[in-house]
């Protein structure tokens, strides 16, 4: 298969590049290195079936260069940080909405029938009920979430209008090796960096806000189930474990796994504007449609992540 992975030098995309390159598919990793890292894919450069392209989804010509003869696009490229979306809402919109529109339109014009879209649980906003199923209203309170809603709905519209196969995957918080803290970042990498640097984790509000964490191997397995699914997936699918981990619990686990119990305690500061209280998945539809189920116990995944972070997490980023 000829596979294009937008955002392929990022955290999740690079794991997909690994999987499909090592399986022998022809993989094009397409990334503008906004948050991507050459360290994530450098080891694949020796494979003849792997190609790294420095391209931007905001630029149609960049996409047209790689579009001929593709079988499938995994579309993950995005400005993913909620905090950054507050200060750069236009950048977030241009990449996440207009960039997605470019990917969809290129796919349509080049007869690429399949685009697997990385939507997000952030589309739901603060939960009106838990666990959150796919029928939950989409009411993200921040520019990042709003941009993901627009792109998610545009994918749906393209599938309906043009009969294209565009599975929409709504992953809950995904974590694991290669997730770095670049100033903005996932809470797990931010806490881990601070604790390993002998600094206390900073908790916004009372720390009772909870998330559903999916380990990267379970996420990649979810993508693979979608890729191998026979027939179109016409409705969005949630991917999560259904288990709630509060921020305060997360901070304690990271302190313990880093061997700093009794030495560090979380510091509490004011709540963040627009922060979503609870995001816990009802992923029964993905389980039923795909036979997907998360295998990782959260704390085991966290321990693997921390081991990785100690070795590689603080290496300076390399870009093209
Ligand atoms: N990490 C999570 O918890 C999570 C959860 C749900 C959904 N997602 C979605 O999964 C996708 C990947 O997230 P990630 O965690 O790997 O983030 P990431 O920041 O590591 O990866 C995003 C990649 O997109 C690239 N990119 C950004 N703008 C681009 C552009 N204009 N053109 C080309 N490439 C561009 C970045 O350089 C980066 O390599 C995103 O769409 C995100 O919204 C992530």
pLDDT (tens digit per residue) in 152-197: 999 999 999 999 999 999 999 999 999 988 666 689 999 999 999 9
- Tell me which residues have their CB closer than 6 angstroms to ligand 1: 6-7, 9-13, 31-36, 56-58, 76-80, 95, 99, 118, 120, 171, 173-174
- Average pLDDT rounded to a whole number, residues 261-280: 92
Average pLDDT on 243-247 reads 96
pLDDT in tens, 44-83: 999 999 999 999 999 999 999 999 999 999 999 999 999 8
316 pLDDT higher than 80? yes
What CA–CA distance (Å, rounded) separates 125 from 146? Answer: 9
Indicate which atom in ligand 1 lies nearest the CA of residue 144: 43
Residues 209-222 have a mean pLDDT of: 97
pTM of this prediction?
0.97
Q: Whose CA is nearest to atom 7 of ligand 1?
A: 120
For residue 228, the CA-to-ligand 1 centroid distance in Å is 22
| Secondary structure (3-state) at 131 | coil
Atom of ligand 1 nearest to the CA of 35: 37
CA 102 to chain centre: 19
Mean of pLDDT over the chain:
96
Residue pair 266/202 in contact by the 8 Å Cβ criterion:
yes
Which ligand 1 atom lies nearest to the CA of residue 13? 16
Q: 14, 34, 54, 56: which to mutate for ligand 1, most atoms within 8 A of CB?
A: 34
> What's the whole-number mean pLDDT along residues 126-155?
96
CB within 8 Å of 133: residues ≥ 6 apart = 238, 282, 284, 285
pLDDT exceeding 70 applies to what percent of the chain? Answer: 99
Q: Please give the CATH topology (third level) of the domain spanning 2-174+215-240.
A: Rossmann fold (3.40.50)
Percent of the chain with pLDDT over 90: 94
- Confidence (pLDDT) at 118: 98
Segments making up each domain of the chain, as ranges: 2-174+215-240
Summarize the confidence of residues 226-238 as an average pLDDT: 97
3-class DSSP assignment, residue 6 = strand
Q: Are the C-beta atoms of residues 170 and 121 closer than 8 Å to each other?
A: yes
- Residues tagged active-site: 144
| pLDDT for the residue 94 | 98
pLDDT at 202: 96
Lowest mean pLDDT across 84-93, 131-140, 175-184: 175-184
Q: What is the pLDDT of residue 185?
A: 63
Would you tell me how many other CB atoms lie within 10 Å of the CB of residue 242? Answer: 17
Whether residue 131 has a cis bond before it, omega within 30° of 0: yes
Distance, in Å, from the CA atom of 23 to the CA atom of 244, rounded to the nearest integer, reads 34
């Amino acid at each position: 298969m000829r596979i294009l992975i937008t955002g392929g030098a990022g955290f999740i995309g690079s794991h997909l590049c690994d999987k499909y390159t090592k399986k022998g598919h022809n993989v094009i990793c397409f990334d503008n290195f906004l948050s991507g890292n050459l360290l994530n894919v450098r080891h694949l450069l020796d494979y003849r079936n792997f190609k790294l392209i420095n391209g931007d989804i905001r630029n149609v010509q960049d996409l047209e260069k790689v579009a001929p003869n593709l079988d499938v696009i995994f579309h993950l490229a995005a400005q993913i940080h909620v905090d950054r979306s507050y200060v750069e809402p236009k950048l977030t919109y241009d990449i996440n909405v207009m960039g997605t529109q470019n990917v969809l339109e290129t796919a349509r014009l080049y007869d690429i029938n399949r685009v697997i879209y990385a939507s997000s649980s952030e589309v739901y906003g603060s939960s009106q009920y838990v666990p959150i199923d796919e029928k939950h209203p989409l009411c993200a309170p921040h520019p990042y979430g709003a941009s993901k809603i627009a792109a998610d709905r545009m994918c749906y519209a393209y599938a309906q209008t043009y009969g294209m196969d565009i599975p929409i995957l709504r992953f809950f918080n995904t974590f694991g090796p290669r997730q770095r803290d670049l100033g903005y970042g996932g809470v797990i990498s931010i806490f881990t960096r601070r604790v390993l640097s002998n600094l206390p984790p900073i908790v916004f509000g009372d720390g009772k806000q909870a998330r559903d964490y999916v380990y990267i191997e379970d996420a990649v397995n979810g993508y693979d189930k979608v890729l191998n699914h026979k027939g179109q997936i016409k409705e969005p699918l949630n991917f999560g474990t259904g288990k709630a981990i509060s921020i305060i619990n997360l901070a304690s686990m990271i302190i313990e796994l880093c061997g700093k119990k009794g030495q560090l305690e979380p510091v509490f500061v004011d709540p963040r504007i627009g922060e979503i209280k609870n995001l816990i998945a009802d992923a029964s539809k993905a389980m039923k449609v795909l036979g997907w189920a998360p295998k990782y116990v959260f704390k085991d995944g966290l321990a693997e992540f921390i081991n990785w972070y100690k070795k590689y997490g603080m290496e300076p980023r390399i870009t093209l």
